């Protein structure tokens, strides 16, 4: 099993001290040796703050690797796996012991290696940061979940494209933005 996250956010807005835009994609890859009924699947959870809730799916791994958009985000997220944190400001701050004491015993709490892309619109700068994010999953239930149907995957893709690829991330400049993100991530001393 492999867990990783790709997060994009713009600089904090002054009045509310919150990101003016925040996108987050969680990837959990389950392989043959994970014992799940659908080996080679990936759980994907895409969240865009301010555009409606999350969009989740269990997708076959080979389909993810052919996906026009998700493949690139997945590959960027994987560059964070197993590397030390490079920036303390991008490290999950939840108290694992407190959360575990108040939670269902089926839930697993983990710090997931996360690749952050931070864009400061005021200074017109963009940078990559390696950090972690604190997550909770029912991994046993997820291992046994069925891969989505073709119709469910088509619906997920439509929602993903509508919500996640709006304005500056539109299809026509997607390749350019991914190239920028990749260059920034590759510059990190991982």
Q: Which residue has the higher pLDDT, 133 or 34?
A: 133
Is residue 121's pLDDT more than 90? no
Residues 6+ apart with CB under 8 A from 166: 51
Tell me: the pLDDT tens digits for 47-64? 877 555 578 999 999 999
Residues 6+ apart with CB under 8 A from 119: 8, 9, 10, 11, 125, 126
Is residue 133's pLDDT more than 80? yes
Is residue 15's pLDDT more than 50? no
Chain-centroid distance, C-alpha 109 = 16
Reported as a pLDDT band with limits 50, 70 and 90, residue 110 is: confident
- Radius of gyration, alpha carbons of the chain: 17
Q: Which residue has the higher pLDDT, 180 or 172?
A: 180
What count of residues does the chain have?
190
* Cβ(38)–Cβ(32) below 8 Å: no
Report H helices in the chain: 61-64, 70-78, 96-101, 139-143, 150-164, 171-187
Name the pTM for this structure.
0.83
pLDDT of residue 38: 44
Is residue 101's pLDDT more than 60? no
Is residue 166's pLDDT more than 60? no
Is residue 165's pLDDT more than 90? no
């Amino acid at each position: 099993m492999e867990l990783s996250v790709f997060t994009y956010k713009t600089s904090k807005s002054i009045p509310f001290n919150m990101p003016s835009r925040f996108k987050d994609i969680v990837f959990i890859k389950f392989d043959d040796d994970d014992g799940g009924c659908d080996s080679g699947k990936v759980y994907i959870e895409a969240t865009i703050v301010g555009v409606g809730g999350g969009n989740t799916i269990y997708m076959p791994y080979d389909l993810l690797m052919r996906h026009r958009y998700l493949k690139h985000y997945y590959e960027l997220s994987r560059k964070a796996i197993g590397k030390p944190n490079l920036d303390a400001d991008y490290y999950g701050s939840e108290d694992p012991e407190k959360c575990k004491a108040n939670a269902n015993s089926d839930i697993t709490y983990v710090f997931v290696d996360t690749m952050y892309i931070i864009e400061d619109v005021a200074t017109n700068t963009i940078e990559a940061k390696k950090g972690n994010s604190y997550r909770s999953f029912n991994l046993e239930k997820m291992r046994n979940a069925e891969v989505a149907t073709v119709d469910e995957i088509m619906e997920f893709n439509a929602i993903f494209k509508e919500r996640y690829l709006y304005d500056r991330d539109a299809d026509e400049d997607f390749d350019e933005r991914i190239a920028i993100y990749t260059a920034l991530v590759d510059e990190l001393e991982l």
